[in-house]
Amino acid sequence: FIMGNNFGGIKRAIEEEFERVRLLDKDREYIVLDQVLQIEHTKWESFPIDFTHVGTLFVLDKEKNGKFTIYDFMQFAEICRKREEMQVRHDFKTHIQAYFTLCMWSVVAKPTGERTFVEWGSNLFAANSISGTTKAIKKPAQYPSTIFYTEDTIKTLYNILSINQSYGIGWRQFFDLMQQTAVEEDLTKKDECIDYIHEDVLKKFLGSFIKGFVNLMLELGFDPKIEVI
């Protein structure tokens, strides 16, 4: 197997890429979502991982806190190596994405699954701030105990959940709908925080998203009690 023969080199390449993107905010020992999305895996072409895939991110973030450590990446690489040894098909990228989707399904299909996913998603985006960029959260003066997400951070959510492909909703329409929800739910007033999204709106959206995913998987006949090895 390609990966098995060159796994040491792949791990070194992952460590180098991790360190490269970590230095974008060098005060931290971990990296956050938008740094993960900047990782280039051309140095390990036998290991074609799409980090914009939500199931992949779910598995990669072992502690479910939105903070990705080098330890997370090394464990993740080990999972990929084992799957590569087990699979018989040549299309590793499709195989591994399907496997990570099943891993996520085995968690979110449980009675506490929706809460687990919403908490993880909230942590993922709350942690997603990078110094010197618009990837950030904000606590406005009039709402000092509430997290608001910047437009740029919400755009990352829009992209990794494939909102346009899945629902046919353009980016601007999606952002406006989230702002409208905040006003309708009496979380903000119409002219307040127009460039930010209230944390409760994000949680509501994540809850709806994962309910839709669970319902689809059940319709397709997936076992909600599955244990993925």
pLDDT band at 115 (very low <50, low <70, confident <90, very high): very high
- Render pLDDT for 146-156 as a digit per residue (tens, 0 to 9): 888 988 889 99
- Asked if residue 2 has pLDDT above 50, the reply is no
Domain residue limits, the chain? 2-108, 113-219
> What pLDDT does residue 103 have?
96
> What pLDDT does residue 88 have?
54
> What pLDDT does residue 4 have?
47
Task: Pick the more confident residue, 65 or 43.
Answer: 65
Interval 99-112 mean pLDDT: 96
Helix/strand/coil (H/E/C) assignment for every residue in the chain: CHHHHCHHHHHHHHHHHHHHHHHHHCCCCCECHHHHCCCCCHHHCCCCCCCCCHHHHHHHCCCCCCCECHHHHHHHHHHHHHHHHHCCCCCHHHHHHHHHHHHHHHHHCCCCHHHHHHHHHHHHHHCCCCCCCCCCEECCCCCCCCCEEEHHHHHHHHHHCCHHHHHCCCHHHHHHHHHHHHHHCCCCCCCCCCCEEEHHHHHHHHHHHHHHHHHHHHHCCCCCCCCCC
Percent share of the chain, pLDDT over 70: 89
Q: Which of 135-144, 164-173, 191-200 has the lowest mean pLDDT?
A: 135-144
- Render pLDDT for 72-85 as a digit per residue (tens, 0 to 9): 999 998 998 888 77
- Render pLDDT for 44-83 as a digit per residue (tens, 0 to 9): 666 678 899 999 999 999 999 999 999 999 999 899 888 8
* pTM over the 0.85 mark: yes
- Render pLDDT for 6-24 as a digit per residue (tens, 0 to 9): 777 788 888 999 999 998 8
